[in-house]
Chain A
Amino acid sequence: MNLLEVDNLHVQFPTRSGTFDAVRGVSFSLGRERLGIVGESGSGKSLTGRAILRLIKPPGIVTADKISLEGENLLDLSERQMRKVRGQRISMVMQDPKFSLNPVMRVGEQIVEAYSQHTRASRKEAKAKAIEMLEAVSIRDSERVFRAYPHEMSGGMGQRIMIAMMLIPNPQILIADEPTSALDVSVQTQVLSIMDRLVQERGMGLVFISHDLNLVSAFCDRVLIMYGGRVVETCRADQLYNAKHPYTQGLLNSLPRLDTPVNRLQVLQRDDAWMTDNPQLDDKPDDLTQPHISKTDAETP
């Protein structure tokens, strides 16, 4: 069974001039794989991630035929039951650790809190576990970091702390919402590889939300391309450069490439038709809407 299945997800915000549809009928499923969601700002990729965790606050409206986690429809759960899903089964790493870590709480306390919320561990056990987790994200002087405050950490450190905090209750799915866009280029790969290693080791599903096509094609197994609140194309990450949809092609052509340098990059052309037609029904093999089975997954039953 797939870990996560999202069917016909809509996110709407009522405004004075009518309802704004931010996400319009997104469907996908996720296995124990790395799924990339790419799109420009405002394409609804972040909202899709947050809607899965049911973190969209009123007046935002979330509807879907189903959002099921191992067969259990998350939309049917009460808020109390949903709290058991958050953190413990689905977790999320956000963009900028400068804002996503609580500035007035010690790092260790924040990690311990994430762990103790879902276990009955004593404070001592939780601390040991947190230290262990900090070491797992390659933080060397974990004892010092445990006692430190977030502002004393660099961006890369902060994001590794965030990853440690989100993985400590051992969730099945991690949603990474632009986890490296706020980081220095030099530490991006380092943070990504740490995240990748942990996700692989634990056999988790990863939803990787990004606007960086190159990053996603290199890092993920499968990619959803979103435009204007809907999925315009789904393809295998290694075949992203053969994508058929004009929007994806436009995105690719607007990137500079070392192997074929051009004087002038293409400007992305947009077509209103992409907002309405359903590209998932276009001539595309069916298996691409289904999870891609990676090698590591096949090895570990």
Chain B
Amino acid sequence: MTTAAGKPPPTEYRSGWTRGSIKLARVIGSVLVTMLGLLFITFIIGRVMPIDPVISVVGERATKEVYDAAYQEMGLDKPVLVQFFYYLSDVVRGDFGTSYLNGRPVADEIRRVFPATLELATIGTLIGIIFGVPLGMIAAVKRDSWIDQVARVVALVGYSMPIFWLGLVGLLVFYGILGWVGGPGRVGIFYVDIVPPVTGMILIDSALDGQWEIFWDAVSHIVLPASILGYYSLAYISRMTRSFMLEQLNAEYVTTARVKGLSEWTVIWRHAFGNIKVQLITVIALSYAGLLEGSVLTEIIFSWPGIGSYITTALLSADMNAVLGGTVVVGLVFVCLNVLSDLLYSFFDPRAK
């Protein structure tokens, strides 16, 4: 922002760009600090685990010389702080070490499993929002009516039914008996590894490649697990929507809106709903983050190669690099979602600016 006279503009008229970049710097700064804390914790966990990383590399029957050589090679003779910086620089370069289990780089493995979870969790959350929010709205507006009771039961079932049971019954009915959806796995067995991985998400990759046959096959495979995860988040989202709405419907500005002679629809959607958006974003972000962590049971039942089952398998075989790598990625997802919801707050609520 330059003025003709060359005078610096007064501070309260800082241009949008300046304010935007200050905000951006602040956001990036907070992300970096949080991530540093997370990495520190994972590093400490990796050190205090009663697993000798050298033995997992050289094997139990290695000679003392081999053991010592590996010990020095891995930098374990250096001070802990130095080791932490080694770890940090590795992680920054996207290197999470290699898996003790199969010797492959953990980063590559995560790059393979995380998109699968992302795809499933995103569609699940979308289902949860599309059905959960209106259901909660109706339940609040028609409080104590039969619709409210039905919504309550639907949510209760979603909460309390074991997800593996729903998954198995879903597979039995919709795949086994009716044959409406695809079975376990991300695509049918004939289509595996045909589409070149770009994003790692089969729906997007197949569409990018123009392989519509594979795309529809992938859709039929994802429908059932995504619906089950969606049902689970629907239960949560609809209950929260209902309670947020009840609070707003008693607010005085809603009466103002009615006094103006607005229709009930306008009062509810334009006025009351406008005021629950921020709270809803928090709830949705939390439930999305929960799904992105990977829902182990769903992934196992549907043979979905996601991050949940990856971390669990690694954990059971004490594959620390894989576990820590997975934890860092999940942590990063949480931090990113937090930042995203913060940005959305200031978009939807003028008071948050």
Contact = CB atoms under 8 A, between A and B. Distances in A.
Interface of A: 50, 53, 55, 83-88, 91-92, 94-96, 99-106, 113-114, 117-118, 149, 151, 162, 165-166, 169
A88 B349 CA distance: 30
A86 B257 contact: no
A197 B262 CA distance: 27
A87 B252 CA distance: 16
A103 B259 contact: no
A100 B255 contact: yes
Interface string B168-211: 00000000000000000000000000000000000000000000
A100 B252 contact: yes
Contacts of B258: 55, 86
B253 interface: yes
B253 A101 contact: yes
Given A104-B348, A105-B274, A151-B351, A85 B261 contact: yes
Given A151-B350, A151-B351, A102 B261 contact: no
Interface string B259-275: 11111000000110011
B268 to A, nearest CB: 13
Contacts, number: 73
Contacts of B260: 86-87, 113-114, 117, 165, 169
Given A86-B258, A149-B351, A96 B263 contact: no
Given A85-B261, A86-B258, A94-B255, 7 more contacts: A87-B259, A92-B259, A100-B256, A102-B256, A102-B274, A103-B351, A165-B256
B167 to A, nearest CB: 40
B261 A83 contact: yes
A144 to B, nearest CB: 14
A109 to B, nearest CB: 10
B251 interface: yes
Given A102-B271, A104-B275, A105-B271, A94 B256 contact: yes
Nearest to A92: B259
A104 B350 contact: yes
Contacts of B348: 104
A237 to B, nearest CB: 26
Nearest to B271: A102
Interface in B143-159: none
Contacts of A84: 261
Interface string B313-353: 00000000000000000000000000000000000111100
Nearest to A84: B261
A249 B253 CA distance: 36
B275 A166 contact: no
B259 A86 contact: yes
A105 B257 CA distance: 12
A113 B251 CA distance: 19
A117 B267 CA distance: 12
Contacts of A53: 259
A86 B274 CA distance: 22
A99 B275 CA distance: 12
Given A94-B255, A96-B252, A99-B251, A104 B349 contact: yes
Contacts of A87: 259-261
A105 B275 CA distance: 9
Contact of B261 (A88, A105, A149, A151): A88
List the 10 shortest-distance A-B pairs measured between CB atoms, nearest first: A87-B261, A99-B252, A86-B261, A149-B350, A87-B260, A102-B253, A114-B260, A100-B252, A83-B261, A92-B259
A81 to B, nearest CB: 11
Interface in B239-257: 251-253, 255-257
B262 A117 contact: yes
Contacts of B351: 103-104, 149, 151
A169 B260 CA distance: 9
A117 B253 contact: no
B257 A102 contact: yes
A162 B260 CA distance: 11
Contacts of B252: 94-96, 99-100
B147 to A, nearest CB: 16
Contacts of A106: 350
19 contacts: A50-B255, A55-B255, A55-B258, A83-B262, A86-B261, A87-B260, A94-B252, A99-B253, A100-B253, A100-B255, A101-B253, A102-B256, A103-B253, A104-B277, A105-B271, A113-B260, A114-B260, A117-B262, A169-B260
Contact of B263 (A83, A99, A103, A166): A83
Nearest to A50: B255
Contacts of B275: 102-104
Contacts of A118: 261
Nearest to A59: B144
A286 B297 CA distance: 80
B259 A101 contact: no
Nearest to B351: A151
Nearest to A114: B260
Nearest to A162: B256
